[in-house]
């Protein structure tokens, strides 16, 4: 293990003395500084673990990827890539910049190694996102990069498809795969897009646009849909059918959960937002199993697992 990664126990008290969102930003900036410094080669992993596998027809270096949400603006792609991931996903990006929900909006539940967030797709907008994404060595050196798109909070639900069309067209040239985020619990009414009619209409339109973009750029870019864990078996079956009908390549199971059953009684447990961390794994694997049985390997099922090395004091 690299010196940087093994030093977490030392820097943890400093990070936990900060507001959670400030610590998030501090860590990313610190990683970027180390990556760009002469000490980077000594502090960061020498090379990613070589365990190649195929992801929607794409060759990844290993099976541990980074989910969207950590780097919303695609500003730290090379620094994050230096940690040894097999593939990276950045975003969610919306067509226009937006501040997200009011602060504080990120809460620690250290007893369960968990977080509750209600960020609300805070990002600098598609133009800045694309400037960042174009300027990275990760993809030029063979790294797989997924770009995650969403809708602006002020865009009416009936016009949501327009935001996704803008995002799809904007990121297509720069993505190895594209994720359609319709499951964040922190954008009002967004999860309505998981309904059969709404989802079918959205994906049919996006798939038609992808055909045009594929012809224009002479390359096919896989599309995955990121779904919520808080769905019934019946809803899972409906979504599975809609995705297959619209030639979707993969599904990301899952986004954060609204359930608090596993953290009830803890400080911050009743904060609004999505819960992530080990307590969410029950819902993740429940959803994973339901989708797996419904889809019968019709396309890729990518699980957002939670990796833990040991419980920190």
Residue 308 burial (C-beta neighbours within 10 Å; 0-12, 13-18, 19+): exposed
Q: What is the dihedral of CA 28, 32, 34, 36, to 10 degrees?
A: 180
276 in active site: no
Enter the tokens of residue 313.
């004091």
**Active-site residue, selected from the candidate residues 184, 280, 287, 294:** 184
CB 274 within 8 A of CB 258: yes
Smallest Cα–Cα separation from 146: which of 179, 172, 173? 179
Smallest Cα–Cα separation from 40: which of 93, 81, 95, 92? 81
- Rounded to an integer, what distance in angstroms lies between the CA atom of residue 147 and that of residue 182? 14
Smallest Cα–Cα separation from 302: which of 72, 131, 15, 89? 89
Give just the sign of the alpha carbon dihedral 210, 214, 216, 219: positive
Residues carrying an active site annotation: 184
């Amino acid at each position: 293990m690299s010196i940087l990664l093994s030093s977490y126990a030392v820097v943890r008290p400093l990070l936990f003395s900060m507001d959670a969102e400030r610590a998030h930003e501090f860590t990313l900036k610190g990683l970027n500084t180390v990556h760009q410094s002469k000490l980077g080669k000594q502090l960061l992993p020498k090379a990613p673990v070589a365990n190649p596998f195929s992801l929607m027809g794409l060759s990844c270096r290993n099976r541990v990827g980074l989910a969207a949400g950590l780097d919303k603006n695609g500003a730290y792609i090379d620094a994050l890539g230096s940690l040894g991931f097999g593939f990276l996903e950045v975003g969610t990006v919306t067509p226009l910049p937006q501040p997200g929900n009011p602060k504080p909006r990120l809460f620690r539940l250290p007893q369960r190694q968990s977080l509750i967030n209600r960020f609300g797709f805070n990002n600098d907008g598609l133009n800045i996102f694309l400037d960042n994404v174009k300027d990275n060595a990760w993809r030029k050196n063979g790294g797989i990069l997924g770009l995650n798109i969403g809708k602006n909070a002020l865009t009416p639900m009936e016009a949501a498809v327009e935001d996704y069309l803008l995002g799809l067209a904007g990121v297509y040239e720069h993505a190895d795969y594209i994720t359609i985020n319709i499951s964040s619990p922190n954008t009002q009414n967004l999860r309505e897009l998981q309904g059969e009619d709404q989802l079918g209409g959205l994906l049919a339109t996006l798939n038609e646009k992808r055909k045009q973009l594929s012809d224009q750029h002479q390359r096919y870019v896989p599309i995955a849909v990121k779904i919520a864990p808080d769905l019934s078996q019946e809803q899972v079956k409906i979504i599975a059918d809609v995705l297959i009908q619209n030639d979707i390549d993969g599904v990301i199971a899952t986004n954060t959960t609204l359930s608090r059953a596993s953290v009830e009684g803890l400080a911050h447990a009743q904060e609004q937002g999505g819960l992530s961390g080990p307590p969410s794994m029950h819902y993740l694997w429940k959803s994973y199993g339901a989708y797996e049985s419904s889809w019968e390997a019709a396309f890729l099922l990518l699980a957002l697992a939670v990796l833990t090395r040991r419980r920190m004091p």
